[in-house]
Homo-oligomer: A and B are copies of this chain.
Amino acid sequence: MYAGRMNRTHAVQKVPHVTIADVAERAGVSVGTVSRVLNNVENTGADVRLRVRGAVEALGYVPNHAARSLKRRLTMQIALVVPDLGNPVYAQMAVGVQREAAASGYHLTLVSSGGDWSEERLALQSLEERQVDGAIVCSLNVTQNLVRSVAEHASSICVIGALPLDCPVDNVRLDSVRGAELAVEHLVGSGRRRVGFVNGTPGTVPHEVRDRGYRQALARAGIAYDERWVASGDFTMTGGYEAVDRLLDTRVPFEALFCANDMMALGAMRRLQESGVSVPRQVAVVGMDDIEAARMSTPTLTTVSLLARERGRIAGELLLRRLSGGGAGEPQKVTVLPKLITRESSAVG
């Protein structure tokens, strides 16, 4: 029956919120003056300024964000919507955006949509609620309508990734076809002409894109496309492992291997090594993504970085520029070129 005294020990003592009015009183000026001093606006008398600053200090005044937002119609917050924060790619993207935002005094709100389209909708709604001044959306599910509806609300928005044509919003995209080309060109450039290819899940966009890059690079090098060099995995390590299994079965020799992503490349290398095939001496391998594991495998994996952090940084830059410009201006489109990162798995000799 001692319940009456429970939870009292550390009870929160409500610190009476000190407002701009308290500061004004203490400094012997009006609230308007305090506001002006705090925002360094208009000419304010040196003495008054000092008294106000003193009162702020003494009272421990700290401005109320909600009130300021309500009045200014600015939250100084932007949102980033990604499918899955747990995926290192998106985590890196978040870092890029965060840095850029922080540098401009903005805070970042993160929404991990889980690929769920209703979650995305929800996130964009918070934008409409003016909980944030703008948003960066990275998702495969951004439909034209979705973006349109938001854009019409006069909100600033930037999309990372593919976008339906004719969407009047800022956009950062990636030339992934060029990425695949870079990989193959690198392999061919080191004198290996029989270049195998482990692509991802057939029917997906990434599959399509990498296929195009692979074919174009070969064509440009004057090498005929041979489908016996090509196998498909499901973007997992096991998928890569088994794809090489099949490639090996055909007994068609190859001296290089381009894999649609690093995980499959790692699986592929494992399979090759288990067959006694030396990487890179007998077969050079190149992956795509530049995941952390690529730096730690044996041998370390040559790969094509898709520059997630950089794309995040650019998206942040575009969005912030738009915000500072009042939302006006032509939609900006930026295309980022992937970058080849050379490591041991494709070394020559």
Contact = CB atoms under 8 A, between A and B. Distances in A.
Contact of A126 (B14, B65, B88, B331): B65
Contact of A131 (B107, B270, B326): B107
A163 to B, nearest CB: 15
Given A65-B126, A110-B110, A85 B77 contact: no
A94 B64 CA distance: 26
Contacts of A330: 7, 9-10
A12 interface: yes
Interface in A81-119: 84-86, 88, 91-92, 94-95, 98-99, 102, 107-112, 119
A62 interface: yes
Nearest to A128: B62
A9 B75 CA distance: 26
Interface stretch (A25-33, A292-300, A333-341): A292-300
A112 B95 contact: yes
Interface stretch (A39-47, A66-74, A172-180, A201-209): A66-74
Contacts of A75: 65-66
A3 interface: no
Sorting the interface of chain A by its residue count into under 10, 10 to 19, 20 to 34 or 35 or more gives 35 or more
Interface string A298-335: 10000000000100000000000000001111110000
Contact of A270 (B111, B125, B298): B298
A168 interface: yes
Given A66-B69, A70-B66, A95-B112, A328 B293 contact: no
A104 to B, nearest CB: 14
Contact of A153 (B15, B269, B296): B15
B86 A92 contact: yes
A178 to B, nearest CB: 25
A298 B275 CA distance: 14
Contacts of A153: 15
Contacts of A249: none
A24 interface: no
A227 interface: no
A273 interface: yes
Contacts of A130: 64-66
Contacts of A15: 152-154
B296 A266 contact: yes
A12 B328 contact: yes
19 contacts: A7-B328, A11-B328, A63-B129, A65-B69, A65-B131, A66-B70, A66-B130, A69-B69, A95-B112, A107-B111, A107-B131, A108-B109, A108-B110, A108-B111, A109-B109, A237-B296, A267-B296, A269-B298, A292-B293
Given A64-B129, A84-B95, A297-B297, 19 more contacts: A7-B328, A8-B328, A10-B330, A13-B154, A64-B70, A65-B131, A66-B131, A85-B98, A86-B91, A86-B92, A91-B91, A107-B111, A107-B126, A108-B110, A109-B110, A263-B296, A270-B298, A293-B293, A297-B298
